[in-house]
Structure 1
Amino acid sequence: MQKHTIASTCFLLAALLCAPGSFAQPNPGAVDILALASSPRWLTTKVYIEGEPQTDVKADYSEVVGISTWDLETNRYEFFDAVTGVSKYNKGGGGYFFVTGDQKHHILVPEFGPIKTVVRRLEALNKTEFTYSREVPRDMVENNPPVRIHVVHTPYKGE
């Protein structure tokens, strides 16, 4: 029953994120959702703060760095540590995802850990790049001012 409550909450959140004026209008910057299935795994290759794409700050945002899997048939995801390959599932790194109808937001609903819905803005999604952005505290330190980070992924070729 809890899964249904979480899913319902996410759908409500998605509806609220879509401005009424955005319905039935073409989205010129639409992403290719099916591109998530073009690679079984995606590797974080760069993290940068909005407005500073030349500076890679992966070391300051290790919580968002890793390997991710996306199953479009079940809408399930799971994150793994890029160095050890260990799953992050029990720490909130696995659950369900969906993309809003306007294809502008990618929403995660973790099954375990500090359960909270994560809304990410889709910046690029094609067969060679998956980039999202979201607001987080600077350097992922609570009470720091928020910044918008962009997290860039490319298809992962390793084990």
Structure 2
Amino acid sequence: MRRFNIAFISLIFAGSLVSSLSYATSAEPEADIRALASSPQWLTTKVYIEGEPEKDVKANYPGVVGISMWDPQRNRYEFFYTDTGRSKHPDGGGGYFLVTGDKQTHILVPDLGPNRTIVRRLEKLDNTEFTYSREVRRDMVATNPSVRIYVVHAPYTGPIKTKMSN
């Protein structure tokens, strides 16, 4: 009986240490995919290469620049050109998306076009910013080495109004 009491007291003491330690660390706020619905449109505001956040290279990556719309209810997305508002859907700029359970990976599955799946790392997602990163060829030239680009979006409030095709 005495061994049981000692073991029981040890377990209670260990449990109190572990629970107090868990209160001491603060968790990072998790991205909420519903934040994509907080704005009807999102605009690419900056593209930069890993390690060079001060240098905007949007001009070198026109394929990732545009206005986007996200429908978390249907898990649908569509991209649009910033100058005309024309849809990029026929060229693979629309389809289904999902965010993995750990909320760290954002996956696109286009309806059309040459790409079947695009995997992106979700860097930040809240009501004011949506940022992802992914590995691509530098300047999107097939013979260049791979780099990680960060693509930053903010809610779009400009004059172009877009509507999802599907």
TM-score relative to the length of structure 1: 0.81
The aligned counterpart of 2:100 is: 100
Is 1:74 the equivalent of 2:68? no
Shift in CA distance, 29/49, structure 1 to aligned 2, threshold 3 Å: farther
Which residue of 1 is the match for residue 149 of structure 2? 149
| Cα distance per residue 1:81-133 (max 9 Å; x no partner) | 01111100010000000000000010000000113200000001000000000
Which residue is equivalent to 1:134?
134
Offset at 1:29?
5.2
Aligned to 1:85: 85
Aligned residue number for residue 114 of structure 1: 114
Aligned position for 2:22: none
Query: What is the one-letter code of the residue matched to 1:113?
Result: G
CA distance in 1, matches of 2:147, 2:108: 20
2-structure distance, mates of 1:76, 1:118: 14
Give me the whole-angstrom Cα distance separating, in 1, the residues matched to 2:31 and 2:102: 9
- Answer whether contact 1:97 1:106 (CA < 8 A) is retained: yes
Displaced runs of 4+ in structure 1, greater than 4 A?
A: none
State how far apart, in whole Å, the 1-side matches of 2:29 and 2:139 are.
29
Cα separation, 2, equivalents of 1:52 and 1:115: 27
CA distance in 2, matches of 1:72, 1:30: 16
5+ residue gaps, structure 2, are 1-26, 162-166
Number of residues paired by the alignment? 134
| Distance in structure 1 (CA, Å) of the matches to 2:70 and 2:34 | 10
**In structure 2, what is the Cα distance between the partners aligned to 1:68 and 1:75?**
13
TM-superposed deviation, 1:30: 2.1
1:95 is paired with a residue whose SS is strand
Distance 2:34 2:95 in 1: 19
Q: Which residue is 1:10 aligned to?
A: none
Check if 1:44 corresponds to 2:44: yes
The percentage of counterpart residues that share the same residue type is 68
Unaligned runs of 5+ in 1: 1-26
Match of 1:102, SS? coil
- Answering whether residue 119 of structure 2 is matched by residue 124 of structure 1, we say no
Q: Tell me the distance in 2 between the aligned counterparts of 1:30 and 1:121.
A: 14
Structural RMSD (CA): 1.3
